[in-house]
Structure 1
Amino acid sequence: MTSTMDPTFYRSPADAAAAPKEELAYVVAFDRSGQLPDAMTVVDVDPRSEQYGRVVGWTDLTPGAELHHFGWNACSSALMHEGHDTEGLARRYLLVPGLRSSDIHVLDTQPDPRSPRLVKTISSTELSEKAGYSRPHTLHCGPDGVFLTCLGGPLDDPDAPGGIALLDHTTFDVLRAWEADRGPQHFAYDAWWHLTQNVLISSEWGSPSMIEDGLVPELLLGNRYGHTLHFWDLAKGVHQQSIDLGAEHQMVLEVRPSHDPEATWGFVGVVISTADLSASVWRWHRSGPEAPFELEKVITIPAEPADPDLLPPALAPFGAVPPLVSDIDLSVDDRFLYVSCWGTGELKQYDVSDPAHPREVGSVRLGGIVGRRPHPAAPELPLAGGPQMVEVSRDGRRVYVTNSLYGAWDDQFYPDGVGAWMAKLDVDAEGGLTPDPRFFPHGDEFRGRRVHQVRLQGGDASSDSYCYRS
């Protein structure tokens, strides 16, 4: 390791939690109509600043890309891997895929972190030809390069199996498909790992034709969306184990492994059960390094009864609002798990000090299909959408949420529009959440775009893999 290593490459979760607070948040924004350019926005999150809670930077990108998830070129995992500890490597570039365009934008946050500059675009053709994938979704920096999960197969056959493309972590060229043997895996969504345990975990949503025009009721009720979690040999790219959660548990999405590098447990969220419209969170774990993984449901969140006249057509026949758990996030100290219930408009906080027995300790409601609960900063403004993407600061004291899920799905569940808003919640040391009344960028602040994922300056709870124990 050289003396010029980026100081935001933290050796352990405790080092990350003790580091200076973030002052900026990067938030992707997209135009649903595809007419205006999608954008990377920069939001001031420093309470001492006169511009606190305001958009202070803006970089236009391609119209119609539908910017969705994105991430850093390098992170704390660089401390473990040969070739990643070269002089000058830094958490500097944001790789920003377009979920509809399949292009990947590379933004340089230096020299001015408030003015990211587009320095490269990786074309959908390169991704398709070199890795055999399209519809790039989630990325993490890790061994061998940048891992980019993709929902679809090549451009000429997008409903072919999705998977993981590997990108060079310096040039960002597409190298190849990561998988050497995919086994039975077909659907793709998220992927993350137990870095020192040589285990990658991947999850399932659906192929492009199943999601791009909205949720397909016939496929959902037929239990056709993804319902399986996969475990892989991280070094070899070889599939080792699948666990089917049961066909009724539809859309197994965000995976959140423990930040402790010696641990072999984590959580995954399930959007909906076709049995009762509930949502759930499951814990994977194993008893030893050679033992197979096991999976158990540890959280169930029931649907809430509602007047059918207040529901969108897709839900009116059921007379209930499903929670629609669309994101989860685990604090860096592995203490609190946050669960976004986009349908009911609630962010739940669980104490997972005992990961097998989560205990709800906090809740905030904003928006919701029926509730439309306002933010304290604008009590007269009913909110559409709900807490969707959730990001937690490294020290665990601040939680940021945005309200758009995916353009076509927004339109189904909030047919009168979702608008755009972002909120910050302060976290009590022993649990509990309070919306910050000073922080509520919304509406015109985002120039008519919808907002999705948040990344925090210097890293956050879902950006880094740590190599050493606290």
Structure 2
Amino acid sequence: MADAHAARGHTDPSLYRTPAEAVAAPPEKLAYVAGFDRSASRPDALITVDTDPDSPGYGRVLNFAELPETGDELHHFGWNACSSALAHACHTNPERRFLLLPGLRSSRLHVMDTRPDPVRPKLVKTVSAKELAAKAGYSRPHTLHCGPDGVFLSCLGGADGADGPGGVALLDHTSFEVLRAWETDRGPQHLAYDVWWHLAGNVGITSEWGTPSMVEEGVVPELLLGRRYGHALHFWELDSGRHLQRIDLGDEHQMVLELRPAHDPEQQWGFVGVVTNVEDLSASVWLWYRDGAAFAARKVIEIPAEPARTEDLPPALQPFGAVPPLVTDINLSVDDRWLYVSAWGTGELFQYDVTDPFHPRKTGSVRLGGITGQAPHPTAPDVPLTGGPQMVELSRDGKRVYLTNSLYGSWDDQFYPGGIDPWMIKLDADTVEGGLTVDPRFFPHGADFRGLRVHQTHLSGGDASSDSYCFR
């Protein structure tokens, strides 16, 4: 494989043959952040932030690349190519160059070119909602990853916003045209959310949230208490799109979201976060793993709800008298040692040593914001933070952790009815013994983002959630 890799003339230094090469690569200089206007009266934007500590602009917003229309609600986005492209014959000369930005409400997909000026990406293509619906039968694009047969784009809705089934659309690696739906036999799968894989095992994994009507106007209490949101994992034959196995985590475990498979291509395990248990409002993280010919899953982390005074809670939580952790994002370091878990409700980010993935060991945590605590940033102790740690991104070497505070516009409004003032915070992680400290120099917030709420972050040169690898 090494000879084939060299023969194809690979020149992009940000694509790495192994996780170890990625860890050893130079640190990121820029972060790209998805920003959206909750009112949908102004365009959303891809925001560039300086992450070079030696730069005079460190921790500052450098650019807003605005989209041409309103109402997109940028959410998750991703690169056109990742390190696994080094082993895919469909890439002739792969480059981590284009950022693909799905509009979760508009169903449009925007392609931004980071060349020649990575600080100021330019819009080069828009894939319409009509094309996505006509060619793949989907809407409400949510998450994307560069895969072996194309760019995999998970979608929550059926064509034109219909209530499912949601699934995965395949896009051409180069033209970004919609090719087709990835699934050829979906079995019992109906709800969609994330998609990832174990490339060496030819295994795809998907998780479950809800259909458009279940999520777009916020949490529907009757559906939540009725245990109607997603509570299962699905395993697939990756090359054929054929459903292989469903694992039900138990219908009390509502909203099975972020998938984080091991980066080591010889391993077939990973973590998934569950937002809440309707029986006690706890949140959890589960491990899936190969167990003979099939997969199994077990709960390995549980985070309890925290008691609170009724008058301190938003209306949606007052009947419960507690703040649920609401695990809405997790991330696994490139070396597969450190797992980060965002408890957006209580305002806490947890760090776990997962050297033994069956027995995570808590090694650190930081409180920032939260529904009742509103723990401040150390550089502004008198300013309560709204929102809480939500999307979490890790540098390739695992030493830097980036946080943003918005989940999804309508859900923000339910759990933080006083409003979400945007912020982005960087933590320094001890990758030897464990532990987290807030970087006092890095705190773009408020007016720095021109009123846009901020969601997912990706880093120049790749990050922990961007890449899968084909070599060990």
Counterpart residue type for residue 449 of structure 1: L
The reply on whether 1:263 has 2:270 as its aligned counterpart is no
The reply on whether 1:21 has 2:21 as its aligned counterpart is no
Q: State the distance in 2 between where 1:369 and 1:465 align.
A: 35
For the residue of structure 1 that corresponds to 2:180, the secondary structure is strand
Give the gaps of 5 or more residues in structure 1: none
Q: How does 1:115-194 map to 2 (within 5 A)?
A: 115-155=120-160, 158-194=162-198
Q: What residue is the counterpart of 1:69 in the other structure?
A: 76
Q: State the distance in 1 between where 2:145 and 2:426 align.
A: 24
Tell me by how many angstroms 1:83 deviates: 2.0
Counterpart residue type for residue 321 of structure 2: G
Tell me by how many angstroms 1:160 deviates: 2.1
Q: State the distance in 2 between where 1:381 and 1:439 align.
A: 16
Instruction: Decide which of 340, 350, 353 is 2:352's aligned counterpart.
Output: 350
- Preserved contact between residue 90 and residue 148 of structure 2 (Cα < 8 Å): no
- Preserved contact between residue 377 and residue 439 of structure 1 (Cα < 8 Å): no
The reply on whether 1:447 has 2:453 as its aligned counterpart is no
- Preserved contact between residue 30 and residue 449 of structure 1 (Cα < 8 Å): yes
Tell me by how many angstroms 1:58 deviates: 1.2
Tell me by how many angstroms 1:377 deviates: 1.8
Q: What residue is the counterpart of 1:104 in the other structure?
A: 109
For the residue of structure 1 that corresponds to 2:224, the secondary structure is helix
More moved, 1-10 vs 60-69:
1-10
Q: State the distance in 2 between where 1:75 and 1:219 align.
A: 37
The reply on whether 1:231 has 2:235 as its aligned counterpart is yes
More moved, 54-63 vs 139-148:
54-63
Q: What residue is the counterpart of 1:91 in the other structure?
A: 96
Counterpart residue type for residue 451 of structure 1: V
Query: Which TM-score applies when normalising by structure 1?
Result: 0.98
Tell me by how many angstroms 1:206 deviates: 0.3
Q: What residue is the counterpart of 2:320 in the other structure?
A: 318
Q: What residue is the counterpart of 1:467 in the other structure?
A: 470
Q: State the distance in 2 between where 1:94 and 1:179 align.
A: 24
Counterpart residue type for residue 349 of structure 2: L
Q: State the distance in 2 between where 1:277 and 1:83 align.
A: 45
For the residue of structure 1 that corresponds to 2:146, the secondary structure is strand
Give the gaps of 5 or more residues in structure 2: none
Q: State the distance in 2 between where 1:466 and 1:326 align.
A: 25
Query: Which TM-score applies when normalising by structure 2?
Result: 0.98
Counterpart residue type for residue 69 of structure 1: H
Instruction: Decide which of 432, 437, 440 is 1:437's aligned counterpart.
Output: 440
Q: State the distance in 2 between where 1:412 and 1:276 align.
A: 19
How many residue pairs match? The answer is 464
Q: State the distance in 2 between where 1:8 and 1:29 align.
A: 25
Q: CA offsets, 1:198-235, max 9 Å, x none?
A: 00010000000000000001100000000010000001
Tell me by how many angstroms 1:378 deviates: 1.2
- Preserved contact between residue 156 and residue 164 of structure 2 (Cα < 8 Å): no
For the residue of structure 1 that corresponds to 2:213, the secondary structure is helix
- Preserved contact between residue 130 and residue 175 of structure 1 (Cα < 8 Å): yes
- Preserved contact between residue 389 and residue 405 of structure 2 (Cα < 8 Å): yes
Q: State the distance in 1 between where 2:112 and 2:164 align.
A: 30
Q: State the distance in 1 between where 2:373 and 2:71 align.
A: 31
The sequence identity of aligned pairs, in percent, is: 70
For the residue of structure 2 that corresponds to 1:272, the secondary structure is strand
Q: CA offsets, 1:410-451, max 9 Å, x none?
A: 000000001100000000121100010000000000001100
For the residue of structure 2 that corresponds to 1:281, the secondary structure is strand
- Preserved contact between residue 202 and residue 230 of structure 1 (Cα < 8 Å): yes
The reply on whether 1:206 has 2:210 as its aligned counterpart is yes
Counterpart residue type for residue 471 of structure 2: Y
Q: CA offsets, 1:163-217, max 9 Å, x none?
A: 0000000000000000000000000000100011100010000000000000001
Tell me by how many angstroms 1:379 deviates: 1.1
Tell me by how many angstroms 1:7 deviates: 1.2
Q: What residue is the counterpart of 1:295 in the other structure?
A: 297
Q: State the distance in 2 between where 1:381 and 1:126 align.
A: 45
The reply on whether 1:80 has 2:87 as its aligned counterpart is yes
Tell me by how many angstroms 1:3 deviates: 3.0
Q: CA offsets, 1:270-298, max 9 Å, x none?
A: 0000010000000001134xx11010000
Q: State the distance in 2 between where 1:14 and 1:164 align.
A: 30
Please identify runs of 4+ aligned residues in structure 1 that moved more than 4 A. none
The reply on whether 1:399 has 2:404 as its aligned counterpart is no
Q: What residue is the counterpart of 1:280 in the other structure?
A: 284
Q: State the distance in 1 between where 2:258 and 2:309 align.
A: 30
Q: How does 1:42-61 map to 2 (within 5 A)?
A: 42-61=48-67
CA RMSD of aligned residues (A): 0.7
For the residue of structure 2 that corresponds to 1:286, the secondary structure is strand
Tell me by how many angstroms 1:36 deviates: 1.1
The reply on whether 1:34 has 2:36 as its aligned counterpart is no
